[in-house]
Amino acid sequence: MTPEEFKNSLKEHGIELNDEQMARYELYFKRLVEWNEKINLTAITEKEDVYLKHFYDSLTLAFERDMTRDGLSLCDVGSGAGFPSIPLKIAFPNMEISIVDSLNKRIKFLRELTNELGLEQVNLYHSRAEDFGQNKEFRETFDLVTARAVARLNVLAELCLPLVKKDGQFLAMKAAKSEEELVEAKKAIATLGGKVVSEHEVSLPITEDERFIIEIDKKKVTPNKYPRKAGLPNKKPLV
């Protein structure tokens, strides 16, 4: 996907990007490739692949919801090289984003990147998601929480739902549909105060690769004991 195809494809979904925003995506791509030679950020480095599989893919979160509201807060758990939150922030500058990542090298990259891109209302936290979710300053404070991770849904739910404010949403981005995973996570999601409301299938242009966005509404306050200590959600997932 070329930058022009990226811009035109998004316009079909009501997302119109100006020249300044397009310049920011271009700079993002350049810095991603440069830093990737020093620290492992992504296996995807070809320009057309980055625009499709990172930038466009990240923005699919905005296809089904309004991201333009002033003060909308989004927390990206385990963001890595900034996906999906930084592409979303470039397209929707009024949102406030918070990124949580356990590797300080990635946080350093994101700090230098967001400063160079001139992005405001970006908060970066070097922390394990389990510890962050137990921090009273952040717990149940975000409108939207997302994770574009390979962990199973019952693990992601324990890391993310404690951060979602009541009546907010957890949006899990998955590369493959798994009814088994949804069934497996049902009890965990309910225990953590959530309810699965929908699952959207998104097809990437050109490659027709499928992506799935699972929407989970926060209906009740999460019990204080969740998330459990660092490492436990992965070792002993809620079932």
Q: Measured at the alpha carbon of residue 78, what is the angle toward residues 226 and 44, in degrees to the nearest 5?
A: 155
Q: 133 with 146: CB under 8 angstroms?
A: no
DSSP string, 207-238: T--EEEEEEEEE-SPPPTT-S-STTHHHHS--
* Residue keyed to tokens 């798994």: 178
Does 92 carry a binding-site annotation? Answer: no
Residue 29 assigned to a binding site: no
Is 24 labelled a binding residue?
no
Q: Is 130 annotated as a binding residue?
A: yes
Q: Report the C-alpha gap between 43 and 11 in whole angstroms.
A: 28
DSSP alpha helix (H) spans, 17-84? 19-36, 47-50, 57-59
Give dist(CA 189, CA 161) in Å, integer.
Answer: 8
Cα separation, 233 vs 136, in Å, equals 19
How far apart CA 171 and CA 231 sit, in angstroms, is 22
C-alpha span between 169 and 146 (Å, rounded):
9
Q: How far apart are CA 123 and CA 116, in angstroms?
A: 15
Does 132 carry a binding-site annotation? Answer: no
CA distance 12 to 9: 5
Annotated binding site for S-adenosyl-L-methionine: 78, 83, 129-130, 148
Annotated binding site: 78, 83, 129-130, 148
